[in-house]
Structure 1
Amino acid sequence: MTECLRTRGFLPCEDPETELRVGASFAMLDELGAELPSLLLEADCRAYLAGRQIPDWPYETVPNRLLGQARLYYLRLAFLASGYINQIGQPACHLLPANIARPLARICHLLHRPPILSYDGYALYNWKRFDRDLPVALGNIDTLQNFVHLYDEHWFILVHVEIEAIAANILDAIIALEESDGFADEARVNAALSQIAETLDRLLVVLKRIPEKMSDELYFSRFRPYIGMFHDVEYEGVDLPRQDHRGETGAQSSIMPTLIGFMKIPHQPNKLTRHLIDMRQYMPESHRRWVEYAETLPDVKPLAEPEVWNRVLEGMAAFREVHYHWAIKYIARRSNDPHGTGGTPYLKWLKYLIDETRAHMK
């Protein structure tokens, strides 16, 4: 697992599975996934989806050898669920039919996560490489599943995938520092911080590419609604109370929480920081554990040279500032709702995090 983190970051250790192979009946889910963008344009989409016979996960657990298959199965079902509940142009919906609800709830229980499409299903597991000898990078990757027939949505997802791939260098720096017992070694601490700062510079370059192939009008009106929250949703045939779940959001990525923990940034406890903690339940279980582990590592600030320490913090703040700018461009200018897909008052939240990050400088 450690070696995987160092080379792949929070992306899967192996490239995601592209088709379901746990039984002949599962091919229909791949077909349904390919048809979903067209189905969602039809008024009778919900009736059609509710009438499909979806196969159950055939095991009592998720064997490690089938983890990639389980993730793809979750991805397909979670896209169907979010498409069904949040279908654009149709009345509000608060009932997920049993044929989708039961298998989704079961696989999500086995994967230790809430039964809704989250950042892992939308981005971390949702890509393939054209050439496996080339990096996981824009130009060499595409999505496995989408809500709409627009490359804008592909681009939105794939930018996040490349960011996650590059961020492996952050985890590599932290793990190398730990394995070398370098937390008491000034030279090693500053080398690790330099590597992290350089990686943050690369992440910023990729994040700035969002507008190249993503229209703000199309994002807001055509596919953002599909990654929205579930409010008071009944999972038919499942022994659960009606559910509220946060929608897919980049706040469910483990990169920044890991850096916050490693850098020991003292965000003051309030409603927004409680929301950050809540977002962890939507992360894969192993990622949650890694974030918690990063928080237990020794504080390197006393040994850090001010210049390199501040470079890391400025890199984090600059990344959030670009995110803040895109939130204004893609959401705030088109909506009076101050909340993002994850339910946060996103502009206030991002500004708060930026200010407290810079306040931690030496």
Structure 2
Amino acid sequence: MNFILNSSFTQRGFLPEPDPARRFPSDSELAVLDELGRDLPSLLQDPGCRRYLREQQIPFWPAQRNRSQDLPELQLYYLRLGFLASAYINQVGEPRATVLPANIAHPLCQACALLERPPILSYDGYALYNWKRFRPEGPIALGNIDTLQNFVHLYDEHWFILVHVEIEALAAGIFSGINRLLCEPWQDDLINPILQAIGATVWRQVTVLKRIPERMDPALYYRTFRPYIRYFKNVVYEGVKQAPMDFRGETGAQSSLMPLLVALLKIPHQRSSLTEHLADMRRYMPWKHLQVIKAVEELPELRPYAEKEIYNSVLEAVASFREFHYGLAWEYIQKRTDDPFGTGGTPYIKWLKQLIDETRAHQIS
């Protein structure tokens, strides 16, 4: 293949390079968004939060700033506005709003058009761009990272986001193997070592995912910050479009990681409303990620070249990741509600089980 994989993928997975912008310059008109972001968890404790947000003069993204070096600050701009929009619509303790005011809706839609994505806070803004390192020379890993923006003051929300950030960083180990598959001639001794390394990486990601309960209380998650990442249904973007619009909320299904592994291993998922929804989630992924996934989809099947035990171990790692995620969904959400829909607007419990079963069914018998 002639697809060239950017070196940042083999160094930090789907996370951006350089590290996300932490703040806007103090003399920039955009710096007001840093102040709003800092104050947001406290503002949301007040019933007057929506009125306060409607009164803010939120600057538009400067029209002349469309160079590649402006991307980190554009991503920060989208992150700040995405948080404000979801906070406004889904403020805990208040009836859900159905109109996003023009002072938020207009600049959010402008920024999201530049990023070629729907105008709502998604997984990229909530996790991929929402971290910093305490020690810049240290790893992108728990203990050396923190969030840039939150909805609540509880560390539980920081932990929820940061676990995902480390999992995404570990994907660099998957990309190292994929890069060889894209660039090197396929020899008999190439496939199995690559699959072994990819499987080891996924098992490391499973280990990190299992740390979620260490610092995240199920009741606090469900009651305090999960409501803010819910989907928008019948929301009018004031001054942008008169007709109400629907958008999917932040969800791990918008991560490019599992679609990448499905594309690599050619895991066949039965066509259904599930696969249609998963395909729709791609609209919420950064376009560079989609380019990589499409390139991997064009690779030949690995299965005929692989040793049974090695190939099956990778599939078992993927299934185990999904299985532990299923358990978290049950413990943190399903036990506390009769609502069958996740933050992305999908009947997640039924679908997660289907994904696990179909992954294991693809093992070599």
Shift of 1:23: 5.9
SS at 1:42's partner residue? coil
Amino acid at match of 1:346: Y
1:352 paired residue number: 354
Looking at structure 1, the residues matched to 242 and 296 of structure 2 have their Cα atoms a distance apart, in angstroms, of: 33
Say yes or no: does 1:273 pair with 2:313: no
Q: Is the 8 A contact 1:190 1:308 kept in 2?
A: yes
Alpha-carbon distance change, 240 to 7 in structure 1, aligned in 2, over 3 angstroms: farther
2:303 paired residue number: 301
Shift of 1:60: 5.1
Alpha-carbon distance change, 264 to 92 in structure 1, aligned in 2, over 3 angstroms: same
Shift of 1:177: 2.1
Q: Is the 8 A contact 1:37 1:146 kept in 2?
A: yes
1:127 paired residue number: 131
Instruction: Write out the 4+ residue segments of structure 1 that deviate beyond 6 Å after TM superposition.
Output: none
Amino acid at match of 1:338: P
2:167 paired residue number: 163
Any idea what the Cα deviations from partners look like across 1:33-76, whole Å, max 9, x if unmatched?
00000000100000000000000000256310100000000000
Shift of 1:181: 1.9
2:18 paired residue number: 14
Looking at structure 2, the residues matched to 97 and 111 of structure 1 have their Cα atoms a distance apart, in angstroms, of: 21
2:115 paired residue number: 111
Looking at structure 2, the residues matched to 132 and 65 of structure 1 have their Cα atoms a distance apart, in angstroms, of: 19
Bigger CA drift: 121-130 or 284-293? Answer: 284-293
Say yes or no: does 1:141 pair with 2:145: yes
Shift of 1:241: 3.4
Shift of 1:30: 0.1
Identity of aligned residues (%): 57
Amino acid at match of 1:252: Q
Say yes or no: does 1:76 pair with 2:80: yes
Q: Is the 8 A contact 1:79 1:117 kept in 2?
A: yes
Alpha-carbon distance change, 55 to 310 in structure 1, aligned in 2, over 3 angstroms: same
Looking at structure 2, the residues matched to 351 and 227 of structure 1 have their Cα atoms a distance apart, in angstroms, of: 23
Amino acid at match of 1:344: T
Bigger CA drift: 171-180 or 349-358? Answer: 171-180
Shift of 1:168: 1.3
Looking at structure 2, the residues matched to 319 and 35 of structure 1 have their Cα atoms a distance apart, in angstroms, of: 36
List alignment gaps of at least 5 residues for structure 2. Answer: none
Alpha-carbon distance change, 29 to 268 in structure 1, aligned in 2, over 3 angstroms: same
1:204 paired residue number: 206
Looking at structure 1, the residues matched to 172 and 250 of structure 2 have their Cα atoms a distance apart, in angstroms, of: 22
Shift of 1:298: 1.1
Q: Is the 8 A contact 1:142 1:154 kept in 2?
A: yes
Looking at structure 1, the residues matched to 197 and 63 of structure 2 have their Cα atoms a distance apart, in angstroms, of: 43
Considering only aligned residues, what root-mean-square deviation do their CA atoms show, in Å? Answer: 1.1
Q: Is the 8 A contact 1:11 1:165 kept in 2?
A: yes
SS at 1:241's partner residue? strand
Q: Is the 8 A contact 1:62 1:111 kept in 2?
A: no
1:326 paired residue number: 328
Looking at structure 2, the residues matched to 187 and 59 of structure 1 have their Cα atoms a distance apart, in angstroms, of: 52
Amino acid at match of 2:228: Y
1:45 paired residue number: 49
List alignment gaps of at least 5 residues for structure 1. Answer: none
How many pairs does the alignment contain?
A: 360
Q: Is the 8 A contact 1:102 1:237 kept in 2?
A: yes
1:4 paired residue number: 8
1:252 paired residue number: 254
Looking at structure 2, the residues matched to 221 and 237 of structure 1 have their Cα atoms a distance apart, in angstroms, of: 32
Q: TM-score, normalised by structure 2?
A: 0.97
